[in-house]
């Protein structure tokens, strides 16, 4: 029973992070598209292991950064160079992880023949290309305003009081 409670709290933390942090939403979208297109590259088990570890490290670093920033904001509501330094260090850690993730992506996905084959596969199916374009727009909206913002805007749009 304790494990289930811990799992509930952890999932609640993930949802909180997605709802409140734009960078977290960006990372989830990047992970989604990376995993969506990964079958074109025939990664194998080791490639997927590296990919999952990379995604997990970036997402968890972003969550730790959120914790650090939130705690710093609770400690001091006024400017402090010490607090700024702590926040900068946490953000720098995420940036290092993100750069490493780009390096991993280059190692796994910089295969021109596979990229060309994937592009041909998509262009042979224009409806999929259109679906990809729509999903890119929806992803941009998701990243920029987040689930609560989307919910609030849809509610305002469709539930107007007359």
Q: Is 69 annotated as a binding residue?
A: yes
Q: Is 12 annotated as a binding residue?
A: no
Q: Is 62 annotated as a binding residue?
A: yes
Catalytic residue, candidates 17, 25, 27, 62: 62
Q: Is 21 annotated as a binding residue?
A: yes
Q: Residue 83: enclosing H or E segment and its boundaries?
A: helix 81-109
Q: Is 153 annotated as a binding residue?
A: no
Q: Which residues, at least 6 apart from 42, have a Cβ–Cβ distance to it below 8 Å?
A: 114
CA dist., res. 18 & res. 52, Å (int): 18
CA dist., res. 129 & res. 132, Å (int): 5
- CA-based torsion, 13, 18, 23, 28: positive or negative: positive
CA dist., res. 34 & res. 55, Å (int): 9
| Active-site residue, 62 included | yes
- CA-based torsion, 9, 14, 80, 86: positive or negative: positive
Binding site per annotation, positions? 2, 9, 21, 62, 69, 87-88
Binding site per annotation, positions for substrate? 2, 62
Active site (catalytic) residues:
62
Binding site per annotation, positions for ATP? 2, 9, 21, 69, 87-88
């Amino acid at each position: 029973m304790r494990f289930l409670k811990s799992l509930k709290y952890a999932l609640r933390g993930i949802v909180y992070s997605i709802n409140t942090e734009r960078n977290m939403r960006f990372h989830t979208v990047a992970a989604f598209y990376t995993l969506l297109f990964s079958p074109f590259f025939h990664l194998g088990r080791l490639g997927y292991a590296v990919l999952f570890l990379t995604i997990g490290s970036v997402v968890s670093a972003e969550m730790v950064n959120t914790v650090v920033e939130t705690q710093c904001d609770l400690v001091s509501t006024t400017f402090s160079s010490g607090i700024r330094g702590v926040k900068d260090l946490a953000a720098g850690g995420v940036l290092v992880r993100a750069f490493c993730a780009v390096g991993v992506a280059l190692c796994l996905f910089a295969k021109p023949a596979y990229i060309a084959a994937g592009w041909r596969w998509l262009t042979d199916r224009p409806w999929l290309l259109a679906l990809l374009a729509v999903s890119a727009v929806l992803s941009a909206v998701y990243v920029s305003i987040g689930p609560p913002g989307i919910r609030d805007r849809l509610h305002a749009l469709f539930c107007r009081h007359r």
